[in-house]
Structures are given as structure tokens and as C-alpha cells.
Amino acid sequence: MDALECIVGRQSIRAFLDRPVEREVIEEILDAARWAPSYKNSQPWEVVVLTGRKKEELTALLIELLERGEKPTPDIPEPESWPGPEAARIQELYRMRAEATGIDLSDPAVIRKAKKANFAFYGAPAAVYLFQEGSLSQWSLFDLGLFAQSFMLAAHAKGLGTVPQAFATDYAAQTKEFLGIPAEKRLVLGLSLGYPDMGSPANGLRPGRDPVDSFTRWL
């Protein structure tokens, strides 16, 4: 697979085969992702990989917190509103997802169910958390995004599927405690990782993108 094919072919995967991912493969993906660029080569990323019992325990903890009605307190707060064009794209995504999977994310009652699926890492055999020092600037958050994309592309190149999950950071303090991460770190993103089940309708969703001329100006 060449680089362009890899970039365009990656999609979020939300249903996985019941097949474990070998540690060596995850190491290989991380070994590629560490070549992501970063501000002054500061490499502001830290990673936790969970599989097996540990991952199940975290899922149980997150679902318990949700069911107890605990208020989500992610380190990076969920946006309260979106400007017009972005809001319209989100509505379009919700419409597509409702059509493909019956899950209507504009319905608050359904968000609970969707959160549980997120907390279960969509049945993936591995969960990955990305975090960094809490005192780092916005540039470092940008760097972690580059790392995350590199990770997802490397996984895709190895035949694996991923989905980046802001929801997986809902209970940041409790998650950090569970993972043994100091409270002052910034929990940025959770990801599911596994072999994709391409027969699942959950993976049939391919949200579109606006054309190049809609966001580019040539001077």
C-alpha cells in the first residue's frame, strides 16, 4: 500500500474481529508513529496499551461511572457549541450514522448507549491511550494529533483498524488513576485497535469530505 492509498483508505473502525493483536505488531506501529514531527522535536507523547483483563477492567469501571451518573470531566472539555459550517458537517455525520447503524447521536438517550460502546472499545482486543505533560502548550497537543494520525496510518498499513475516541477520555481522573498515570498529566485520546470486521454495518460508514476548492485559496 503506498502512502496516498493509506491516507485515503483509512477509516474509523467500530467493529472488530475476535482476533488478538500480537504485541510485536503494536510495537512495530509505535516504532513508526514515533517518527511523527513535533515542535522542536520535543516528542510530547506518552502511550499506554491495554489488552486482556486490564482492558476489561477499565471498560467495567467506565461503564460503572456512567451508570452511577458521574459527570464526565475530560482533561480536554467537549466543545459546547460549533460554528455553522462545522455544525452542519456534524449533523450530516449523525444523519449518515443513523442511516447506517440505527444509532442517532443527536438523541441524548442514544448517547449513553454510544458511550458504552466507546467504553467497551467497540469490542477491540486492544485499547490505546495517548497522554502528555499537563503543562505543555497547544503546540504539543497539535504534536500529539500528528502522532495519533501516524499511529492510525501505520496500523492501517499493517491491516489493522483504529478509531480515535474523545469519549474514552470522559472520566479522565479515574482513567489516569486506573492506568497509573499521575493526575497532572493530560489525557488526550483513547483509541481502539484490532483487526477490522469489514462485514459489519458499523464499518460501512464512510463520511465524505468537502472538495479541495471549498477550503483552499490560491494566490
**Contact residues for ligand FMN (CB under 6 A)?**
11-12, 14, 93, 118, 163-167, 207
Nearer to ligand FMN, 166 or 181 (CB): 166
Rank residues 44 and 164 by Cβ distance to ligand FMN and give the closer one: 164
Min separation Cβ 162 and ligand FMN, Å: 9
DSSP3 helix / strand / coil % (the chain, rounded to 5): 50, 15, 35
| Alpha-carbon span 163 to 191, nearest angstrom | 5
Closer to ligand FMN by Cβ: residue 23 or 113: 113
End-to-end, the C-alpha distance of the chain in Å comes to: 34
Identify which of residues 38 and 149 has a Cβ nearer to ligand FMN in the complex: 149
What contacts 35, CB < 8 A, 6 or more positions away?
Answer: 150
Closest CA to 125 of 172, 59, 28, 181: 59
CA distance 202 to 97: 8
Q: Which is nearer to ligand FMN, 32 or 145 (CB)?
A: 145
Minimum CB separation of residue 217 from ligand FMN in Å reads 24
Nearest distance from residue 11's CB to ligand FMN, in Å?
4
Minimum Å distance from CB 14 to ligand FMN? 6
Comparison of 61 and 141: residue with beta carbon closer to ligand FMN: 141
Q: How far is the CB of 66 from ligand FMN (least distance, A)?
A: 13
CA-closest candidate to residue 189, choices 161, 164, 156, 170 = 164
Q: At closest approach, how far in Å is the CB of 52 from ligand FMN?
A: 22
Beta-carbon neighbour count of residue 183 at 10 Å? 11
Instruction: Work out the burial of residue 88: count CB atoms within 10 Å of its CB; fewer than 13 is exposed, 13-18 middle, 19 or more buried.
Output: exposed
Which residues on adjacent β-strands are paired with residue 191? 128, 164
